């Protein structure tokens, strides 16, 4: 068994409470980088059903986006990497035509008011999985988790942990999926 060891001294602590989020952010010496890329899902299985309601109680069904590439992002406001990556969802959406790409953000376990206090108004659907049942159906193991669904409604890629979705490598994946007939 290989073993690696080191330690870092505790620098000056900066503690500031903000809506409980700081349970994950008490002190600092090293900034955590976002993850990179997305993992291909070779089985090309059909995406599980995703039928949820948005903040105005309107139904949103993933099936309505068949023919487009869809980025499905599972998130919560209390999740630091979810918060960090969220602005990149809007940025990547703007790189594509509405008829070729869509983003669907699935908030897990929270109410619309809580989510809106973070998101504000978005250009893409934010839907609510209050009981985390859809998250279970999609076999999500951690937050955030993001999937790319191809134009035929199949799971194509997955990312666990935060990303910057307008990263050129991820944009290239989306472009490639959008180009497939």
Partner 1 sequence: MKIARLFLLAGLLAGTAAAQDGMEMRHLVRNDTIVLGANPLTSASRTAFYTARGFPAAAIRPYAEACGFSFGMQNAGASGIRTRLADWHVVGADGRRIAFRPPEAWDIDWGKAGLPPAARIAFRWAQFQSENLFEPGDWIMGMATLEMRPAVPFRLVARYRDEKGNHEIVLDQLACAD
Q: Is 3 in the site for partner 1 (CB under 8 A)?
A: yes
121 binds partner 1 (CB under 8 A): yes
Residue span binding partner 1 (CB under 8 A) among the ranges 5-13, 45-53, 94-102, 173-181: 5-13
> Is 141 strand, coil or helix?
coil
Site string for partner 1, 57-96 (x = CB under 8 A): -------------------x-xxxx-xx------------
**Interface with partner 1 (CB under 8 A), residue from 60, 90, 100, 109:** 109
Among 139, 148, 145, 143, CA closest to 169: 148
Binding-site member from 48, 60, 102, 110 for partner 1 (CB under 8 A): 110
Q: Are the C-beta atoms of 86 and 92 separated by less than 8 Å?
A: no
Beta bridge partners of 129: 108
* Residue of 108, 127, 155, 156 that binds partner 1 (CB under 8 A): 108
Give yes or no for residue 28 binding partner 1 (CB under 8 A).
Answer: yes
- Taking CB under 8 A as the criterion, the residue among 43, 94, 120, 181 binding partner 1 is 120
Assess contact for 81 and 162: CB atoms under 8 A. Answer: yes
143, 64 Cβ separation under 8 angstroms: no
List the one residue from 53, 100, 122, 132 that touches partner 1 (CB under 8 A): 132
Residue 131 touching partner 1 (CB under 8 A): yes
Separation between Cα atoms, residue 26 and residue 66, nearest integer Å:
43
Q: Which long-range contacts (CB under 8 A, 24 or more apart) does 135-142 make?
A: 135/74, 135/106, 135/108, 137/48, 137/49, 138/47, 138/48, 138/50, 138/72, 138/74, 140/74
User: What does the binding site for partner 1 look like in residue numbers (CB under 8 A)?
Assistant: 1-11, 15-39, 55-56, 76, 78-81, 83-84, 108-110, 112-113, 116-118, 120-121, 130-132, 141-143, 158-162
């Amino acid at each position: 068994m290989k073993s690696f060891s080191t330690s870092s001294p505790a620098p000056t602590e900066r503690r500031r409470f903000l809506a409980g989020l700081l349970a994950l952010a008490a002190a600092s010496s090293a900034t955590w980088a976002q993850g990179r890329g997305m993992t291909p899902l070779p089985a090309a299985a059909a995406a599980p059903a995703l039928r949820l309601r948005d903040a105005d109680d309107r139904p949103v069904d993933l099936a309505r986006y068949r023919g487009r590439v869809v980025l499905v992002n599972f998130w919560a406001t209390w999740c630091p990497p979810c918060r960090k990556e969220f602005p990149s969802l809007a940025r990547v959406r703007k790189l594509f035509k509405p008829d070729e790409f869509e983003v669907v953000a699935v908030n897990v376990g929270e109410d619309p008011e809580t989510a809106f206090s973070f998101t504000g108004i978005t250009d893409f659907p934010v839907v609510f999985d209050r009981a985390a049942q859809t998250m279970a159906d999609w076999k999500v193991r951690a937050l955030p988790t993001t999937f790319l669904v191809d134009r035929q409604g199949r799971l194509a890629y997955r990312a666990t942990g935060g990303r910057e979705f307008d990263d050129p490598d991820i944009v290239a994946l989306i472009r490639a999926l959008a180009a497939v007939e």
